[in-house]
Amino acid sequence: MENLIPNEEPLRQEYFMSEVNDIIHAKAMDRGVYPTYKVVTFGCQMNARDSEKLSGILTGIGYMEAENEEDADLVLFNTCTVRENANDRLYGRVGQLKKSKEKNPDMIIGICGCMMQEAEEVEKIKKSYRHVDLVFGTHNIYKLAEILFEHLTTKKQVVNVMESAEMIVEKLPNKREFAFKSGVNITFGCNNFCSYCIVPYVRGRERSRKPEEIIDEIKSLVADGVKEIMLLGQNVNSYGRGLEEEISFATLLDRIAQIDGLERLRFMTPHPKDLSDEVIEVMKNNKKICKHLHLPLQSGSSDILKKMNRVYTKEGYLDLVRRIKAAIPDISLTTDIIVGFPGETEEDFLDTLDVVKEVRYDSAFTFIYSKRSGTPAAKMEDQIDPKVIKDRFDRLLKTVQDIAAENTKKNEGKCMPVLVEGKNDHLEGYLSGKLENNLTVHFKGQERLIGEIVDVILDEAKGFYYMGHIKTSEA
């Protein structure tokens, strides 16, 4: 049999998908029903995209998606490890499934993703969570069928974690969460080594996909009805590193914007130190590129930024923002901010407030610093008193909210295009969608509009979102 297994990817995975499909089909004939799966995703949009690939493989080999993990025949936890409490949440969920597996001995439980790149976590699972059947990391998500085949044929726990990855495996199936929008990876990994961040250690070094692979994927998605594309990478601005062809992110962005049928184009996350004037110019000149930029600040203090290893200063960041706003006056800026980094003084915090007040973000993800073992920041002295951090966090949040409310108020009464994303979970008969600036709008409408871009009149600003109504001709 070994002689029949291809060594080249993706042919090797296609072989194992076919083999597992035969096993699943035979079991379904015996039971009279196909087995079910549930992929549970923790973390960022990169993880969400990985989960679509996992779902695509499972669907391709014969599994049907289940409503919840307790009733599924196969459960995969795609993990995040940016914050240590994410690990605790994961173990709680895995522990709860032990009873489900006792009722259904054929149930398969798998854990994959970033957390599995940490050797101590893998050892913990092998020792204390023996009911887990599959363990694999971020670098071999594409090998799910092969890993599952080994478990199905041996009935043993399979641990398959690669320490690093040079190869990017293309053309494997994926199952999109949304029919009308999709994320598309352009890079994997990170070379920045911010002192508080575990990502480079678990996602590996930066690797760029070939531009023709990215463009072909997007053309295929557009042909399948996708209206909005989000380009994904830990640092999209560094796109091109490691490729034979010399190509910048600005050039890739411009090429993608020329694709016929694509209506909206977004990207995240850009690192401020690498955001070039060429990217700003491409954004300015292409109507398809949403006038929204998520530009992580993390801190407004140059001293703290240096300790964070962010490689820019307060002054450099503000200069970049001024250049962006000069080129694109109606740009919407959002950000990430960490409060209470080791050594942060009141003066450092006030520097952060200064930047928030000058930039005037439409929204911000604000975080209280928490130690992440395995990062340089976790070993730093001058950890801040939690009471001090809480006070600063509350002051920052109020400032962000006040500015956001003032910003959104300016658009009241305007008619703006909205990509309708789904039914509102809390308001009967209402839909929810996103403006080009990434803010949410809730409005009455029929479900047939989901996936369409419609004109909505913004009746009332509610801070970080709007209440509105559809322009009469489109209702």
Q: Tell me: the pLDDT tens digits for 308-320?
A: 999 999 999 999 9
pLDDT at 419: 97
d(CA 468, CA 412): 9
User: Is 80 known to sit in a ligand binding site?
Assistant: yes
Q: Reduced to 3 states, what is the DSSP secondary structure of residue 241?
A: coil
Using 50, 70 and 90 to split pLDDT, how confident is the model at 166?
A: confident
pLDDT at 463: 85
Q: What is the DSSP letter of 385?
A: P
Domains of the chain, each with CATH number or no CATH? 10-160 (3.40.50.12160), 181-406 (3.80.30.20), 414-470 (2.40.50.140)
Between 83 and 443, the higher pLDDT residue: 443
d(CA 465, CA 234): 27
Using 50, 70 and 90 to split pLDDT, how confident is the model at 169?
A: confident
The string over 398-414, giving b where at least 16 C-beta atoms fall within 10 Å of a residue's C-beta and e elsewhere, is: ebbeebbeebbeebeee
pTM of the model: 0.87
pLDDT at 199: 87
d(CA 319, CA 313): 10
pLDDT at 242: 81
* Cβ atoms of 13 and 143 closer than 8 Å: yes
- Mean pLDDT score, 418-430: 95
User: Is 415 known to sit in a ligand binding site?
Assistant: no
- Mean pLDDT score, 266-280: 95
d(CA 5, CA 320): 52
User: Is 290 known to sit in a ligand binding site?
Assistant: no
d(CA 282, CA 346): 39
User: Which amino acid would we find at residue 344?
Assistant: E
Q: Reduced to 3 states, what is the DSSP secondary structure of residue 268?
A: strand
Using 50, 70 and 90 to split pLDDT, how confident is the model at 107?
A: very high
Strands 430-434 and 440-444: antiparallel
pLDDT of 117 strictly over 60: yes
* pLDDT-above-70 percentage for the chain: 99
Neighbouring CB atoms inside 10 A of 70's CB total: 15
| CA atoms in the 13 A half-sphere facing the CB of 173 | 16
d(CA 203, CA 395): 34
d(CA 134, CA 140): 12
d(CA 284, CA 245): 25
Between 1 and 75, the higher pLDDT residue: 75
Q: H or E stretch including 355?
A: helix 346-359
Using 50, 70 and 90 to split pLDDT, how confident is the model at 2?
A: low
Q: H or E stretch including 315?
A: helix 314-327
User: pLDDT (tens digit, 9 = 90+) per residue, 37-67?
Assistant: 999 999 888 899 999 999 999 999 999 999 9
Using 50, 70 and 90 to split pLDDT, how confident is the model at 271?
A: very high
- Mean pLDDT score, 231-245: 92
Instruction: Output the 3-class SS for 360-388.
Output: CCCEEEEEECCCCCCCHHHHCCCCCCHHH
φ/ψ of residue 89, rounded to 5: -60, -40
* pLDDT-above-90 percentage for the chain: 86
Q: H or E stretch including 95?
A: helix 84-103
User: Is 190 known to sit in a ligand binding site?
Assistant: yes
pLDDT at 473: 60
User: Is 112 known to sit in a ligand binding site?
Assistant: no
Q: Looking at 140-154, 196-210, 276-290, 316-330, which range is the least confident one?
A: 196-210
Between 297 and 169, the higher pLDDT residue: 297
